[in-house]
Structure 1
Amino acid sequence: MSYSDFSIADLQDKFQLTFIEDQMLFPAISDYQLPEAFKAMLLQFIPLALAIDTEKARSELIVAPFLAQLKLSLKDISLFSGIEFNVDKNLGLAGRCDFIISKSREQYRLDAPIVVMVEAKNDNIKSGIAQCGAEMIAAQRFNAEKNNHLDTIYGCVTTGSLWRFLKLSGKDFYIDTQEYHIQTPEKIAAILVYITVGDVSQ
């Protein structure tokens, strides 16, 4: 079993998660200003990614550049893409993750604390929620093993064009009632900055 094999029932039964699905997680967050050159590039990449319409194209042309820009803007974080994240194979908390963001500046190896897990999907946000949830549980355990406890781990499932955010606090698993569209990139950027460093001031 690996992250991609998890169902919502697995998260509830194996890890006793309580699902909370009626809250808007970021009701009053201000936009985060992105460089004009990046926004212009994104506007060119989006139609190409949507025309190719594969998970790989959406990930490489929209999601990866977006998260790379986050890394360049914040500096004191690390970003990993497509790495194996094996925490507990007996529990199925193993496999390859699309994107991992850590508050550690260490870029040559993954170190705690992991703060955000991002899972890219081709066209179905819902299908990625359980997978991302399992990755968030693994991140929670990874941090604890490194004696770097965090109250909250965030996650995101995205098709590139739509972004849905998740939050794991203890055993409470929140699914944001809102989906954010890539046509509002500065709102998505603001949420990513907030869940990574807790501050959207520039």
Structure 2
Amino acid sequence: MEKTVLNFSECTLALLDKKFNLSQILKCEILENWLNQDAEISSFEKQLLHRIQHKLILNVHDWNETELIQNFIGPVFAFVDYTTKRCNFFAGRYFSGIVHEIELHGKPDGMIASGFREPEQPYFCFQEYKKSMEQKGDPAGQCLAAMLVAQEMNEHQTAIYGCHVIGADWYFMLLQGKEYIITPAYVATRDDIFDIFRILKALKQIIIGMLE
């Protein structure tokens, strides 16, 4: 009998493609607009990014997942500052939903959602892994599973944004209907760190625009 309940941690891209008839695409105007959207980075923010990048370069091969989150990923999201009265960044919050009669559930490493003290409607899902050599499961698949639930919660009214990180490599994602796209890696130990930060700041503008 086909399993009708799946934890995000069980999900791979291959499994999701098969169960939900999804297609990975190579071009998407919404994604391109997001990746190319302007967002100012102040000189102070650049200094902060250089400081945590230096720590990343020295430690990325040795940090465990918690250390990577606390020393690098967490500060990056904190510098962007998604906290408003109408939305916030949440970490490790359980949520679930029914997608094509299959229940998907779990605790993504992070999400940006409407709501202040607790998440309501998620618009962005995030998954982190220390490094590829210690990878357990499929971080892209786990992130996409959470994005599928977010899409159902939003009644397919908006594209869902996502990102998964493996060590220093950041991959941005977008889901719309049955199509999804994953960018090549942005490498945080290089100058890509400024693009990563700009893209995350642009995401804040996009989500605030959704809530207006």
Matching of residue 154 in structure 1 with residue 161 in structure 2: yes
4+ residue runs over 6 A deviation: none
| Alignment: residue pair count | 191
> C-alpha displacement at 1:18, in angstroms?
1.4
> Aligned residue for 2:23?
18
Alignment of 1:180 with 2:186, yes or no, is yes
Instruction: State the percentage of identical aligned residues.
Output: 23
Secondary structure at 1:79 match in 2: strand
CA contact (8 A) 1:85 1:95 kept: yes
- Aligned twin of 1:77: 87
Aligned CA distance change for structure 1 residues 82 and 48 (closer, same or farther; 3 Å): farther
Q: Partner of 1:123 in structure 2?
A: 131
Q: Is the 8 A contact 2:147 2:162 kept in 1?
A: yes
1:193 aligns with 2:201: yes
Q: How far has the Cα of 1:28 moved from its partner?
A: 3.9
Question: Bigger shift: 50-59 or 87-96?
Answer: 87-96
2:65 is matched with 55
Structure 1 residues 74, 108: CA separation in 2 closer, same or farther (over 3 Å shift)? closer
Distance 1:93 1:65, change over 3 A: same
Deviation at 1:44, TM superposition (A): 4.6
Q: CA RMSD in A?
A: 2.9
Q: TM-score, normalised by structure 2?
A: 0.76
Instruction: Give the structure 2 partner of residue 42 of structure 1.
Output: 52
Tell me which of 135, 143, 147 is aligned to 1:132: 143
1:23 CA drift (Å): 6.3
- Structure 1 counterpart of 2:177, from 170, 191, 195: 170
Q: TM (normalized to structure 1)?
A: 0.80
Instruction: Report the residue type matching 2:72 in the other structure.
Output: I
Contact 1:30 1:187 in 2 (8 A): no
- Residue 116 of structure 2 is matched in structure 1 by 107
Partner amino acid, structure 1, of 2:22 = L
Shift of 1:180: 0.8
Letter in 1 for 2:41: Q
Residue 8 of structure 1: how far off its partner (Å):
1.7
In structure 2, what is the Cα distance between the partners aligned to 1:73 and 1:133? 24
Aligned equivalents of 2:90, 2:180: Cα separation in 1: 23
3-state DSSP of counterpart to 2:160: strand
Match of 2:9 among 4, 11, 16: 4
Equivalent residue number for residue 210 of structure 2: none
Instruction: Name stretches of at least 5 consecutive residues in structure 2 with no aligned partner.
Output: 1-5, 208-212
Residue identity matched to 2:15: D
